Structure 1
Amino acid sequence: MADATMFDTEVLNGVYSNDYDIDLSWMRKPTQHQFRWRTLTNRWITSPRRVRDGSILKKAFGNSTPTDVYVSTSSWLNPVDLPRLRDQDASYPILLDHLVVFDIDIPPFSEKNMELARDSAFQLYQWMSQFTEYEFMHITFSGSKGFHLFYRDLQREKFQIPNPRKREESVRSARKDLLEKVLEAGFQVDSKITADTRRIIRLPGTFHGKTGWKCTIIDIDWLSVPFAQWKKNLPKHEFAIAMPLEAENSSIVTQQKEELEIETNAKGTLVSLEVSSHVAGTKNRSSLIGWLPISWGEPQIAVEKALQYAEKFSLGACCFWTDGTKTLLMVPRAIPREQLIKITKKMGMYNLSRALKEREHDWVRISGEMNEQEDWERMLTPINVLAKETNIQCTWPWSSSHLVLAQRMGLDVQQDGNECSGSPEPSVRIVRRA
């Protein structure tokens, strides 16, 4: 049967039959994990029972038809009916273990983007080898736009803290520290996954409800080989959609709409505003906007280092803000993307450089963060507009949208004779993060 352009989830009805095997042996104790799935009616169901193996999971499905099946990255003393973090009345659950999972997705679904994801996953795998406290488990093809890397935490002190709440907080803190290092190294992993002890991840051995391709544990050696050479080995449903060589409608606007839908529907505890680095109304130009690496030091020192790069690359006027710990830099110029990729890489802003290369733009936080109590944290304070003397050497046009953004954020940039590029309205979104 020829691959369709859209996967019809109705064909999954009955696919998880008695003769279909879901292998859970990669988990030490599946009974300590929570299992959830989405049904044909878009309803979410959490397993009401402990799951020992694949046969028990299929019984838990009952009469429902799962389109997407997930498992918790954490192990719990009682994984059934876990209370929410905000539930203050229920007994606090006892966390037993938490897998370290990195999610690398490069949309939209295409062979070209899968090759980028493969390369990124392989580099992350090699980079993680320096941390002996984490044991590599396996890597899975997600069934759609990327890969999941799984690790075990060999440092058990955190899981021996008597107080359940403090234990989970300690684990989350350790994961955030690791995630920060990964992001600082320039790897585009999903920041919502790794540090969240209440997160669920797609279960290997089950089908992806939007593509029909199977989430599959793959041989780590495959990562060192171009994706095109082993794509044919990935299992999929007979009615799965085709994976195009290069995705159609892969414009910046399409990607931003897709990411906006994902982010605004995600559950989380912190709400903030993010802006796209893309210069609205242009095809391939971006502004240099991003948080300076923590390794550069406190805001004053980080600004001084950024100004050295401003002079070296003739960036023009640079806008700076701080949230008290980190420093936000914005150069409101419409810079050709390929040039900006090279510049940011040389500056050591690997996170931005990789995002521009893989996704053609980046989303950057430009506000404080509102917590569940509706209190604002990490509010941004304007520092100043500096390096204005380099405007003379700067040849790029101004970014209309980022000039407007700077003004709205409290910094008014005085323009020179250079023209403006793009439309004046910046691309901003509201996100929730755990």
Structure 2
Amino acid sequence: MTIQIPRGTYDVLPEDAFKWQKIEETAREVCALFNYKEIRTPIFESTDLFQRGVGDTTDIVQKEMYTFKDRGDRDLTLRPEGTASVVRAYVGHKLFGLPSQPQKLYYIGPMFRYERPQAGRNRQFTQFGAEALGSADPSIDAEVIALAMTFYRKIGLKKLKLVLNSLGDPESRAAHREALIAHFKPSIGEFCADCQKRLEKNPLRILDCKADHNHPLMATAPSIIDYLNDASRDYFAKVKVILDEMGIEYELDPTLVRGLDYYNHTTFEIMGASQGAITTLMGGGRYNGLVSELGGPETPGIGFALSIERLLLALEVEAVSLDTDRSLDCFVVAIGEKAEQKAPVLLNQLRLAGLHADKDYMERKVKGQFKQADRDKAKFVVVIGDEELDAQKAVVKNMADGVQEEVAFTLLTNYIKEKI
């Protein structure tokens, strides 16, 4: 019986792995430009981390987490997002005490959510995210947004739309919270069970409900913009001014609340093309209370996370081809038993010199070996047989123009590197 792959997961085969490598390479290059350093956290964490960090009123915590008990009867969860883990590491390793602040970090890795699989949404998916912890400067908000936009532009996307909002400081959010409760409470019985539970705990989550998004009260709900105090308005204004001066275009959307409980002040999403429609490629925002919620000192933070799967779909829609050179520098063709023994040694020398090289391992005839070289898109073919071994030379064929030259074994690596 053939074992099937779990629903909501997928295999990345070699033909597509090059695309993933290019995307991850670009992410690392852009993060280096912005002086963000990589952090790697465990794939599973204490369940409490996500209940406290993501928020127990979110769909993620209530419905989507892969949670299990280990042999020590501890509750563990496959990470559904990256920010909580990064902040847990920031607190646990006392990175807030280092002289270099803010701590600017990024991660790339798999996340897990139990939800209905569809295009761009899987139960195992890969996120690239960046976090800046330790600064309350509005310019760091603009920097994080600029990093995300730079990454998308560098990878080749053009149909992008940046959407901004502010959730304000705790005082502003408290005032908005009371207004939301007063707005929804008289008719809360018309909403889903989840929204009824959220009314008192976190009414902002009602605005993010997928089941009731068409309810008339959604369109008339109080806007957070109307409840921002002077400090919050001033902060948001500074972020917008910096983005304007950077030349980064954006649209304001007062309904943008994001799906996690830890956001305040700046929130943002970047939209892109997807099969003829516009979809959210990534989202992020400021989370000034998260570090203290997870046991650290009061520390401001801001970050984003994006789905590589959704990025691949957007690249496909925009017909963007990633520049992935999958060709070999050279392919060794061996003719005869002695040459077969020499080929692995010669191949190893080429590889140690930094050349991408391979040979036949299927006992193919000469014609078959050349066909394999073509399939591997080899730039040069190195041919060795009895005569070449006696002369300590190889015949090197340039596959682009068909020109052949004899080259001494001792000069072979330098010859190919110079030609390339």
TMscore range, shorter length? under 0.3
Give the TM-score, by structure 2 length. Answer: 0.26
Which of these two proteins has the greater Rg computed from alpha carbons? 2
